[in-house]
Amino acid sequence: MLRITGGKVYDPAHGIDGVVQDICIADGKIVADVGAGRTLDATGMIIFPGGVDIHTHVAGAALNFARGLTPENQRAAAPFLHTKDLRMGLGGPTPTTFATGYLYAGMGYTTVMEAAVPVLSAKHTHEELRDTPIVDKACLVLMANNEIVLDLLEAGETERAKQVVAWLIWAAKVYGVKAVNPGGVAAWKWGKDAKQMVSPIAGYSTLTPAKIIGGLAAIIDDLGLPHPIHLHCNNLGAPGNVSTTLDSIKALEGRRAHLAHLQFHAYGGDDWHTMRSEAVQLASYFNTQKHLTADAGAILFGNAVTITADGPWQHLLYQLTGRKWGNIDVENETGCGIVPYTYKGSNLVNAVQWAVGLELLLLIDDPWRIFLTTDHPNGACFWRYPEIIHLLMNAEYRRECIQKLPPKALKRITLPDLTREYSLYEIAIITSAGPARAMSMPQKGHLGVGADADLTIYNQNPDGAMMFRYPRYVIKGGEIVVEEGDLRKSIEGREFVVKPAFEPQIEDYLRPLFQQCYTMSFENYPVELERVHGLQMADCLPRG
Amino acid sequence: MITLTLKQQPVVPLEAENLSPDVLAPLTHDAIRALPVYHGKHQCRLDEFFDVDGEASDQLTVRGDCTKVKWLGRAMTRGKLTVQGHAGMHLGAFMKGGVIEVQGNASDWVGAEMSGGLIRVSGNAGGQVGAAYRGSMSGMKEGTILIGGSAGLEVGMRMKRGTIVIGGPVRDFAGLQMKGGTLFLLQGAELRTGAWMIRGTIVSMKPLNLLPTFLPACTYRPSFLRLYTRFLRSLECPLPVGMHGGSYQRFTGDASVPGKGEVLVWQA
């Protein structure tokens, strides 16, 4: 039992904006009052609900491939030494499992969503997530290039496709569905990409990316998954791709969706020499589409490792950089590409990308619909979020940074004209309350009675980067894990899983396809429930 | 001058990242004796393996067969390190300045990823001289490495600038993925010299068995070699007579990357 007194509370879910009030914790939950027990004096400090990262890549085969592909980053990474309570590990652009948990918790984040899990390697992902301590986790399964699902969508067998999707979600033991470059990764297996929303995909006669998006969004709503379709649009990273992004939104036909790493999808221009920001166009359209949420996918200058299921894009990026390239073919489900990348402030394209991420965060007027991410580790490492918060909260500092950009870049961006500054209340929305609501996690992202006792206490500091980088206390599930700025203890996190309804007979349809197409036997394919550690079931609410 | 004398051979390699003039110069003898070294996974005091003599200085001499002592002169920026005997792996890795002289042999990774300074090894060296560590974008970025004897695999791998001179025979993959700089092979090299090279110059005083992706361009007398040989002679590097004036056959490659590197083979 714990009572926190004197802190200024920011709890946007309940409209509480910097009000000094007590918070009481018992049995890992926030309660109305506690009798005896420890009291934590937070006078002069700021209390936030624990951070929620709606889109990150922290575990699984692709991330492990990236760790192996970049020994130069591991050598330079900050080491975590073995202690009585903590396991050893390495930080850097792709931190090791235990270090990932420590770094997230050390920054005040308590819930993360691993955004790209193929069913085939889901076992590996869950094993790594078990070794990612402190934070609670949820996964999204990759579906928009699964050839069984695509075949059914092409044949118009919507009902059976729904059954298969539901079965696959439960087989992978995940929380929702991610659609990466719909159709493009399947086309990549023919050496092609899918850049036009209404052109048939290589290997199919009538199926288009638009039909995949519309079909999956409808299935997800029918199943009532708590999180809507998590969409990584086609044509990522390419100049002029804003038209594809707008077409993708239209393909949703008004259904709810979460648009991932929007920064990578908001470019104008015809080629790399003319690339410019189209954040104004995209943000003003997005502002009118109330059924959508998005995360920023901002970039910061420095070393990164790009990891995505978007195989064709990664091949292009490899050709642009001339650096290393890893490609994984995940049988009938998806693909994956890995390319280390350095974002440079002196590079015109990178400068535009840096500005677009901030522009979207500043131009989208409803903070409940745009969330802070860097698409870790693609745009920057997650442990650099405080740098972005500082940029959002301080227009003067932003101006100083803009002055360092190449002069040519200034004509291609609108960031210099934006004077908006985020308040602490708004930061609490984009880092915690908003993503928790978009993930439909009623126990996360707020400090009301009944919520999980995940909260972060900061020393007030005008320098947002310093303040958010080093929380004074982090409390996860009622346990104080960070105290006086030091990681004091490690606890196990939980994992959120949904079980959408499906008819068991669907296995009779899937089994022969497996024997025909997969290297793995059907019986070995689903993840056993025992492999999910700290299992926490979430409910589905089918929408009519 | 500070003198360290090896008094006991380590059983497994000793990781002695501290043995550089930068670290030792400001320290008292007692502080030097207490410096940590890693014997396998065990942390030990330096004086378990070395006797310490002499006066505080940035001139450091290490005596004895240090074949099993790794990281001598790591990241040093000034002064001089003399090894009277053999040196172990990673000699002068990440070095930024100063001079290293080894009177015996050195092992692999001499001057790996160095960015300045001079390394002179009288005997033989192992592989990966001036190379990039696994995964790194580039190897040595500046500085000079002079090896009197032979060298192993992947000499100058991914080097970006600077000069390497190998007096004896060199094994496979010399100048692998080279990005710049100059590599002199006074006794030639074995197979696949310059494979994947993007830029840079390899000068061989012996005929080479080049990859088919290297195309002969011309035979000429490169004027820059006059300057280069003058520079190397000023470092007392023994060079073949007439090297600066002879004619060279020029090959360009590696066309498989494709790269703009050059290989110059002395026609005597």
Mind telling me how many Å the CA of B144 is from chain A's nearest CA? 24
Mind telling me how many Å the CA of B40 is from chain A's nearest CA? 17
Full-model pTM: 0.92
Residues A221, A225, A227, A231: is their CA dihedral positive or negative?
negative
User: What are the residues whose beta carbons fall under 8 Å from the beta carbon of B41, sequence distance 6 or more?
Assistant: none
Please give the Cα distance from A3 to A190 (Å, whole number).
Answer: 60
CB B256 within 8 A of CB B213: yes
Please give the Cα distance from A446 to A429 (Å, whole number).
Answer: 10
Contact B135 A70 (CB under 8 A): yes
The three-class DSSP label of residue B157 is coil
Residues of A near B (CB-CB distance < 8 A)? 69-73, 75, 323-324
Mind telling me how many Å the CA of A72 is from chain B's nearest CA? 5
Residue of B nearest to A71 (CA): B135
CB A235 within 8 A of CB A199: no
Which of B201, B246, B251 lies closest to B226, judged by CA?
B246
Range of the domain at B221: 108-266
Contact A70 B134 (CB under 8 A): no
Question: Tens digit of pLDDT per residue, chain A (544 long)?
Answer: 899 999 999 999 999 999 999 999 999 999 998 888 899 999 999 999 999 999 999 999 999 999 999 999 999 998 998 988 899 999 999 999 999 999 999 999 999 999 999 999 999 999 999 999 999 999 999 999 999 999 999 999 999 999 999 999 999 999 999 999 999 999 999 989 999 999 999 999 999 999 999 999 999 999 999 999 999 999 999 999 999 999 999 999 999 999 999 999 999 999 999 999 999 999 999 999 999 999 999 999 999 999 988 888 899 999 998 889 999 999 899 999 999 999 999 999 999 999 999 999 999 999 999 999 999 999 999 999 999 999 999 999 999 999 999 999 999 999 999 999 999 999 999 999 999 999 999 999 999 999 999 999 999 998 888 999 999 999 999 999 999 888 988 999 999 999 999 999 999 999 999 898 899 899 999 999 999 999 999 998 876 5
pLDDT at residue A484, rounded to an integer: 85
B113 domain residue, yes or no: yes
Mind telling me how many Å the CA of B147 is from chain A's nearest CA? 27
Identify from B113, B136, B197 which residue to disrupt to test chain A contact, counting A C-beta atoms within 10 A and taking the largest count: B136
B193 domain residue, yes or no: yes
Domains held by chain B: number: 1
Residue of A nearest to B257 (CA): A322
Please give the Cα distance from A141 to A169 (Å, whole number).
Answer: 7
pLDDT at residue A464, rounded to an integer: 86
Cβ neighbours of B136 in A, within 8 Å: 72
Mind telling me how many Å the CA of B135 is from chain A's nearest CA? 5
Identify from B90, B94, B133, B137 which residue to disrupt to test chain A contact, counting A C-beta atoms within 10 A and taking the largest count: B137
Cβ neighbours of A71 in B, within 8 Å: 133-135
B87 domain residue, yes or no: no
Contact A69 B135 (CB under 8 A): yes
CB A358 within 8 A of CB A391: yes
Please give the Cα distance from A501 to A535 (Å, whole number).
Answer: 18
Cβ neighbours of A323 in B, within 8 Å: 137
pLDDT at residue B268, rounded to an integer: 74
B213 domain residue, yes or no: yes
How many of the other CB atoms lie within 10 Å of CB of A196? Answer: 15
Cβ neighbours of A72 in B, within 8 Å: 133-137
Going by DSSP bridges, is the β-strand pair B248-253/B215-220 parallel, antiparallel, or unpaired?
Answer: antiparallel
B255 domain residue, yes or no: yes
Contact B133 A75 (CB under 8 A): yes
pLDDT at residue A1, rounded to an integer: 86
Residue of B nearest to A66 (CA): B135
Cβ neighbours of A305 in B, within 8 Å: none
Alpha helices in B171-267 (DSSP H): 224-234
pLDDT at residue B57, rounded to an integer: 93
Give the number of beta-carbon pairs within 8 Å between A and B: 15
Identify from A65, A67, A72 which residue to disrupt to test chain B contact, counting B C-beta atoms within 10 A and taking the largest count: A72
- Count helices and strands (H / E) in chain B: 3, 17
Cβ neighbours of B137 in A, within 8 Å: 72, 323
Mind telling me how many Å the CA of A180 is from chain B's nearest CA? 29
CB B39 within 8 A of CB B69: no
What tokens appear for A10 in the block?
Answer: 């920011």
Mean of pLDDT values over B169-197:
97
Residues of B near A (CB-CB distance < 8 A)? 133-137
Which of B209, B175, B207, B198 lies closest to B254, judged by CA?
B198
Cβ neighbours of A75 in B, within 8 Å: 133, 135
Contact A323 B137 (CB under 8 A): yes
Residue of A nearest to B113 (CA): A72
Mind telling me how many Å the CA of A326 is from chain B's nearest CA? 13
The three-class DSSP label of residue A130 is helix
Per residue in B89-121, pLDDT (tens digit) is 999 999 999 999 999 999 999 999 999 999 999
Please give the Cα distance from B209 to B195 (Å, whole number).
Answer: 12
Bridge partner list, A482: A474, A487
Considering CB atoms only, which of A69, A72, A324 is closest to B133?
Answer: A72
How many of the other CB atoms lie within 10 Å of CB of A278? Answer: 24
Bridge partner list, B152: none
Contact B134 A72 (CB under 8 A): yes
Per residue in B185-229, pLDDT (tens digit) is 999 999 999 999 999 999 999 999 999 999 999 999 999 999 999
CB B173 within 8 A of CB B214: no
Band the pLDDT of B241: cuts 50, 70, 90. Answer: confident
B1 domain residue, yes or no: no
Cβ neighbours of A324 in B, within 8 Å: 135
Mind telling me how many Å the CA of B194 is from chain A's nearest CA? 18
Contact B133 A70 (CB under 8 A): no
Sheet (strand B14-15) strand order: B42-45, B36-39, B14-15, B69-70
Please give the Cα distance from B204 to B215 (Å, whole number).
Answer: 16
pLDDT at residue A544, rounded to an integer: 53
Bridge partner list, B45: B36
What tokens appear for A32 in the block?
Answer: 């109305």
B245 domain residue, yes or no: yes
Contact A71 B137 (CB under 8 A): no
ipTM for the assembly = 0.83
Band the pLDDT of B245: cuts 50, 70, 90. Answer: confident
Contact B134 A71 (CB under 8 A): yes
Bridge partner list, A267: A277
Cβ neighbours of B134 in A, within 8 Å: 71-72
B97 domain residue, yes or no: no
